[in-house]
C-alpha cells in the first residue's frame, strides 16, 4: 500500500514539474522562432534589393520550410509556438508582399522587421522573467501537492 502511495506521489510531482518545464520551454521556442523570422526578413530585404527572384523563390531561399512555405503565391505560416498577434503580423506582411516596387518592398520589409524585432525583444523579456517562474512553480507546486497528499 505504501509503495502505491509513494509511486502516486512521484507521478504527481513529475507531472507538475514537467508542466512547468514545458511552459518555460514554449516561451523559449517562441523567442527562437521570432529570432529566425527576423533574420529571414533581413535576408529577404537584401535579396529584394538585389532583385532577380520570383516570390516563391525568395520565400524558399530566405525562410526555413518549417516556418513559412510558399506555393503559387499562397503563403503557409507554421503557427506553432507563435502568438496570435505574431501570426497576424506575418499574415499582414505576406498578404501585401510583392504588390509595390522594389524600393517600396524594401521599406515595407524593414517596417515589419522592426515590428517583429519588438515582438522578439518582448519574447526574450518574457522568457527571462517568466521562464524561471514557471519552472519554479512547477517544481514547488508538485512538492507542495505531494506534501498535501501525504
Angle, CA 131 vertex, CA 125 and CA 132 arms, to 5°: 115
What is the pLDDT, as a whole number, of residue 142?
86
Average pLDDT of the segment spanning 11-16: 90
Q: Is the distance from CB of 34 to CB of 116 less than 8 angstroms? A: yes
- Chain segment 74-86, per-residue pLDDT in tens: 788 888 899 999 9
Q: What are the CA-CA distances from residue 126 to residues 17, 84, 99 (Å)? A: 20, 16, 35
Which contacts of 65-73 are long-range, i.e. CB under 8 A and separated by 24 or more positions? 67/33, 67/36, 67/37, 67/40, 68/37, 68/40, 68/94, 73/98
- Chain segment 88-144, per-residue pLDDT in tens: 999 999 888 888 888 999 999 999 999 999 999 999 999 999 999 999 999 999 889
pLDDT category at 54 given cuts 50, 70, 90 is confident
Amino acid at each position: 500500500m505504501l509503495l502505491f502511495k509513494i509511486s502516486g506521489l512521484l507521478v504527481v510531482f513529475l507531472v507538475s514539474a514537467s508542466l512547468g518545464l514545458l511552459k518555460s520551454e514554449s516561451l523559449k521556442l517562441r523567442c527562437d522562432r521570432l529570432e529566425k523570422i527576423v533574420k529571414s526578413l533581413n535576408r529577404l530585404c537584401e535579396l529584394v534589393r538585389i532583385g532577380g527572384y520570383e516570390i516563391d523563390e525568395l520565400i524558399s531561399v530566405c525562410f526555413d520550410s518549417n516556418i513559412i512555405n510558399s506555393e503559387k503565391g499562397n503563403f503557409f505560416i507554421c503557427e506553432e509556438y507563435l502568438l496570435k498577434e505574431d501570426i497576424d503580423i506575418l499574415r499582414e506582411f505576406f498578404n501585401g508582399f510583392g504588390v509595390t516596387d522594389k524600393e517600396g518592398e524594401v521599406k515595407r520589409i524593414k517596417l515589419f522587421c522592426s515590428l517583429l524585432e519588438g515582438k522578439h525583444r518582448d519574447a526574450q523579456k518574457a522568457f527571462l522573467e517568466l521562464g524561471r517562474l514557471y519552472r519554479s512553480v512547477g517544481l514547488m507546486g508538485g512538492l507542495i501537492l505531494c506534501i498535501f497528499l501525504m
